Structure 1
Amino acid sequence: MVKRLLNCFASDFEKMTPQDLKQSILASEGRTVLSENIVAFEPAARDITNSELARSFGADLILLNVLDVFDPVIKGLPESNNPIKLLKKMIGRPVGVNLEPVDPTANRSEEGLEIANGRQSSRETLIRANELGFDFICLTGNPATGVTNKEIIAAVKLAKETFNGLIIAGKMHGSGVSEPVVNLDAIDAFIENGADIILVPSVGSVPGFTQDELIQAVKKIKSKGALAMSAIGTSQETSSPATIRDMALMNKIAGVDIQHIGDSGYGGVAPYENIMEISKAIRGVRHTIHMIAGSNER
């Protein structure tokens, strides 16, 4: 049997299969933190990556945003022919990447943003994500990119055929499209087509999305054998630590397995105080210390 994630060291992650990682998260009973990092900005700590900063303050999983998989430049990382392998060695944590299922026919709610092909979900980018060694992908949308639940469903199906790691699917905000962010029928389709983890907005992040609705969504997700991940992806990751703490506790009450904190802080990562705040709120100081202090040599 695998160890629960909050007891793991770098050597444990190196040995895990994707399903081992999923079970390790499940066994941690809602005490897993994911930090989303923008890789294209000058890092918050300048000469180290945002991923290193996030890991040092309590992040268990790292999700890279705005990465072009055909040109995988990560600011702050030493030059390497295999940047993802190097990053994983440096932080001793599983690493994933956002790929965006853009819908050219979407009913837009705002002026659209064009993104590079290497950031969009396609057979070619999924193959490339495998080659780079990502542990998971997240099929979702950044602001104004025109990602729809319909295209996420198609992307999940393709990813199940193409990508070897865990598949996260869902929306944390509108992504520039006029449609409900959380759709229970879409959640069913994500899971039926192969998603391992379903992304839903954090309590308090999307107008009108209530805790009762989150609880309903989480119960559906778990009943079908998938994991649930709440996401603070509306720049509230830069709010006060008290706000982060309140959101984290409400998400935990709702039953989510993973708590995502977004990348809108200076340099493309949440303020380090807030990463630690979410960690302490959902698992206490003892487990936070274990995750941040354990050497990568263990």
Structure 2
Amino acid sequence: MKRLLDCTASDFQKMNGQQLKQSIKAAEGRVLLAEVIGAVPPLYGGVTNAEIAAAFGADLILLNIFDVFAPSVAGLEVDDPQTVVQRLKQYTGRPIGLNLEPVDLTLSAASRFDQLPPGRVASERSFAEAKQLGFDFICLTGNPKTGVTNAEITAAIAKARQVMGDDTLIIAGKMHGAGVDAEVGESLVGEADIVSFVEAGADVILLPSPGTIPGITLEVCREMVRTVHRHGALAITATGTSQEGSDEQTIRQIALYSKMAGADLYHIGDAGYMGIAVPENIMQYSIVVRGRRHTYVRMASSVMR
């Protein structure tokens, strides 16, 4: 299996989720995932946020706040909404993933949580629709104020594996509390949660990057990553606390600490500007974890390759 560093658009077209996982693993901590929102106007007209993220060095694109029952991406015109994911893959030359949210409906004070449409909630129906739309991977996590819990993430992983099949790449975990009081700071995710995620069928465990959550130091993150690796999964460190909009020095520090923690790949969120990280921060993150050589190649490589 080619390491992801050496893959081009035509390579990605041939991969299923498990082959993508092996390609990520072979890259030895030099893979960058950028999260974008397709439901808001893009940063600049005439191009989608996904295309901007790809142009600045992202290897994988993750769509957030995407309704599988009303599929659309701002800035992307298609005759048939069912083709929107395939068209976005053609335009970016990248694997495209989807956030779905395992909301815990048993939580009290539900009125404080955002009410999500069915097309954004992790369910048997939404998993089946995501597979039909052609997503390359899914991510089970929570946006702020959604009431997503670790217990519901575990249940959603098992359901997703059953519906979407063994070949699907599943990322799962929490980058912040998602409004759940008992799951914040160092209590965000424990060893038992990580083991549950892996045993339920997750391929990649999502963890907060060092410095993005109170109490998540390099040492704490390193122990989390070690636990993930001991149980046979890959680890992705996530910067989803609006620090994707911070200064470049902060981004470089988060990136270096995440690599020191042992992450296999890295996430940068969508709240630098509305719907995308500061594009220069995507590039800076990439340069830190793999240098200018691989960054510029990824930025310049044609979707026709």
Normalising by structure 1, we get a TM-score of 0.97
Partner of 1:34: 33
Secondary structure of 1:213 counterpart? helix
Secondary structure of 2:112 counterpart? coil
Partner of 1:23: 22
Structure 1's 195 and 46: CA in aligned 2 closer, same or farther, altered over 3 A?
same
Distance in 2, Cα, partners of 1:221 & 1:109: 32
Whether 1:228 aligns to 2:235 is: yes
Distance in 2, Cα, partners of 1:271 & 1:128: 31
Aligned-partner residue type, residue 149 of structure 2: T
Q: Number of paired residues?
A: 297
Distance in 1, Cα, partners of 2:16 & 2:239: 27
Partner of 1:106: 107
Residues 13-64 of structure 1: CA distance to partner in whole angstroms, max 9, x if unpaired? 1111211110100011110000000111110022211000000001000000
Distance in 1, Cα, partners of 2:85 & 2:277: 21
The aligned runs of 1:40-119 (5 Å cut-off) are 40-81=39-80, 82-106=83-107, 111-119=112-120
CA contact (8 A) 2:59 2:298 kept: yes
Distance in 1, Cα, partners of 2:218 & 2:120: 32
Structure 1's 103 and 8: CA in aligned 2 closer, same or farther, altered over 3 A?
same
Aligned-partner residue type, residue 226 of structure 2: K
How well do the aligned residues superpose, as a CA RMSD in angstroms?
1.2
Whether 1:169 aligns to 2:172 is: yes
Structure 1's 17 and 115: CA in aligned 2 closer, same or farther, altered over 3 A?
same
Cα offset, 1:265, TM superposition: 2.2
Distance in 1, Cα, partners of 2:116 & 2:18: 31
Aligned-partner residue type, residue 190 of structure 1: F
Distance in 2, Cα, partners of 1:111 & 1:16: 41
Structure 1's 45 and 185: CA in aligned 2 closer, same or farther, altered over 3 A?
same
Unpaired runs of at least 5, structure 2: none
Structure 1's 274 and 23: CA in aligned 2 closer, same or farther, altered over 3 A?
same
Partner of 1:129: 130
Aligned-partner residue type, residue 12 of structure 2: F
Residues 216-266 of structure 1: CA distance to partner in whole angstroms, max 9, x if unpaired? 111111122211000000000000011000000000001001110000022
Residues 89-143 of structure 1: CA distance to partner in whole angstroms, max 9, x if unpaired? 1111100000000001225699211111100000000000000000110000000
Distance in 1, Cα, partners of 2:208 & 2:22: 22
Distance in 2, Cα, partners of 1:261 & 1:77: 22
Worse-superposed segment, 171-180 or 102-111? 102-111
Worse-superposed segment, 68-77 or 216-225? 216-225
Unpaired runs of at least 5, structure 1: none
CA contact (8 A) 2:243 2:272 kept: no
Partner of 1:273: 280
Normalising by structure 2, we get a TM-score of 0.95
Structure 1's 110 and 230: CA in aligned 2 closer, same or farther, altered over 3 A?
farther
Partner of 1:237: 244
Distance in 1, Cα, partners of 2:109 & 2:296: 44
Aligned-partner residue type, residue 64 of structure 1: L
CA contact (8 A) 1:153 1:193 kept: yes
CA contact (8 A) 1:229 1:260 kept: yes
Structure 1's 27 and 108: CA in aligned 2 closer, same or farther, altered over 3 A?
farther
Q: Which runs of 4+ in 1 moved over 6 A?
A: none
Aligned-partner residue type, residue 253 of structure 2: D
CA contact (8 A) 1:149 1:170 kept: yes
Secondary structure of 1:63 counterpart? strand
Cα offset, 1:208, TM superposition: 1.0
